[in-house]
Structure 1
Amino acid sequence: MEKVLVAGATGATGKHIVDLLKESPYFEPFAMIRKEDQKVSFEAQNVNWVLGDVSEDIKHTCKGMDKVIFAAGSGGKNVVEIDQEGAKKLIDASQFNKVKKFIMLSSMGTDQPKQSDDLQEYLEAKQNADRHLKNSDLNYVIVRPGALTNENPTNHIKLAHKLNSQGSISRADVAQTLVRVLKDGIADKETFEILKEGILISKAIDNNSVGIG
């Protein structure tokens, strides 16, 4: 089984990711936590944890990891420190430790942050992080969902390099997408957007008609 570090494991989307990885026959989750007292819930689930804060040196967190998912977020606070520089630190740590694949949870609108009045700073931070990943030597997938909701999973998504519409998607369906692209040979060095509804997640990702896979 491949070891997968999940940055943002204590967040709403991260918890979905860890739950999916727990059930996978291919991957073993390692929850990245900022404070040691956060280990309790993961130990109760028999999930491994790694102590690391993206605002500090985190090179050690990727040691021995096969793959990494960055699903951490500032929640609109300290976007440069967390969403940009924190992501860049984890990218550099992954490259240093020769991680095989890096999955980035990004956001729709990241390619044109100036078009958003409310989220411009956040989207610029995400854009800089995405660019840093693309310029690294890592194999990567950048997933850009619409607005995240806490709705139940539908197991269906719309997927394209660029979707010509706005909308939302459940965190559960985003998590499924992130875990799906962990596999070798799936969407390598691709960037794409996703929204709710559409076709089955597995089919959307594996289907060459959308230009990835």
Structure 2
Amino acid sequence: MKVLIVGANGQIGRHIVQRLAKQEKHQVTAMIRKQEQADFFNHLGVETVIADLETEDGVLKAAEDVDAIIFTAGSGGHTGADKTMLVDLDGAFKSIEAAEKHHIKRFIMVSALHSDTPKNWKEGMEAYYTAKKRADERLRNSSLNYTILRPGWLTNEKPSGKIEAKLDLGKDGSISRENVADIAVQALDIDATFNQTIELIDGDTTINEALSSIK
């Protein structure tokens, strides 16, 4: 499967690319914004494509001849609401539309826990959660075979390989970015994750087992 990573130069994106680069069953392409970002991926032997989510046809061209998209782009925590909407919302919409136009069936979205429950949104992050909520809704209403991953508060802890994954966790929690990357990669091929919105935190169950028995 040829997999395009949108947001490849982000923290989770880099971990996803590193994992896919080690697999034989998947070929990975890293979508980046600037040529100077390519060195990291060149050292991994990974193909890169330069495209800007903020342009009309950037991701459309990047998505040619791929079988799946993993969207993990984000504007970052130090940008304003306008930038968040351009990347996290408009960029997600453009990526979904590109997948539909190119008849790409598999689409994995890295979203955020509590995206659809405004009462749980953290103060000052309303634009971020709004963008994630609307992007998730757009993906669920698309023709794509989707998986929406909603991780809790992200950490840089070493990956445990063990998580808690449910359609409705009913609680808060944190999760390692590397665990999220492992989840995104494994979810590509796990039927139980197809057309599901999955909430995620670190836990005691192996990733494969947790995703395979999602409910």
TM-score of the aligned structures, taking structure 2 as reference length: 0.93
Aligned residue number for residue 39 of structure 1? 38
Segments of 5+ residues of structure 1 without an aligned counterpart are none
Aligned residue number for residue 72 of structure 1? 73
TM-score of the aligned structures, taking structure 1 as reference length: 0.94
Aligned residue number for residue 119 of structure 1? 125
> How many percent identity over aligned positions?
38
Tell me the SS of whatever aligns to 2:89: helix
Q: CA deviation at 1:200?
A: 0.5
Cα distance in 1, alignment partners of residues 20 and 173 from structure 2: 27
2:33 is the alignment partner of 1:27? no
Q: CA deviation at 1:114?
A: 4.5
Cα distance in 1, alignment partners of residues 165 and 116 from structure 2: 16
Cα distance in 1, alignment partners of residues 186 and 135 from structure 2: 22
Aligned residues: 208
Tell me the SS of whatever aligns to 1:125: helix
Q: CA deviation at 1:136?
A: 1.0
Change in CA separation of 1:26 and 1:186 when aligned onto 2, cut-off 3 Å: farther
Q: CA deviation at 1:41?
A: 2.0
Change in CA separation of 1:53 and 1:114 when aligned onto 2, cut-off 3 Å: farther
Aligned residue number for residue 154 of structure 2? 148
Tell me the SS of whatever aligns to 1:123: helix
Contact preservation (8 Å) 1:114, 1:120: no
Q: CA deviation at 1:184?
A: 6.0
Aligned residue number for residue 81 of structure 1? 86
Contact preservation (8 Å) 2:156, 2:178: yes
Aligned residue number for residue 109 of structure 2? 104
Contact preservation (8 Å) 1:157, 1:200: yes
The Cα RMSD (Å) is 1.2
Cα distance in 1, alignment partners of residues 89 and 206 from structure 2: 31
2:185 to 160, 179, 199: 179
Amino acid at match of 2:75: S
Tell me the SS of whatever aligns to 1:132: helix
Aligned residue number for residue 157 of structure 1? 163
Aligned residue number for residue 199 of structure 1? 205
Contact preservation (8 Å) 1:70, 1:87: yes
Cα distance in 1, alignment partners of residues 141 and 62 from structure 2: 21
Cα distance in 2, alignment partners of residues 34 and 173 from structure 1: 25
Contact preservation (8 Å) 2:160, 2:179: yes
Cα distance in 2, alignment partners of residues 44 and 179 from structure 1: 20
Deviations 1:152-196 (A, max 9, x none): 000000010011111100000000111111116341110010001
In the TM superposition, what are the counterparts of 1:45-60 in structure 2 within 5 Å? 45-56=44-55, 57=57, 58-60=59-61
Deviations 1:95-133 (A, max 9, x none): 111112000000001011353223221101100111111
Segments of 5+ residues of structure 2 without an aligned counterpart are none
Cα distance in 1, alignment partners of residues 36 and 207 from structure 2: 35
Deviations 1:13-57 (A, max 9, x none): 111100110112221110001012222221122100111111112
Aligned residue number for residue 5 of structure 2? 6
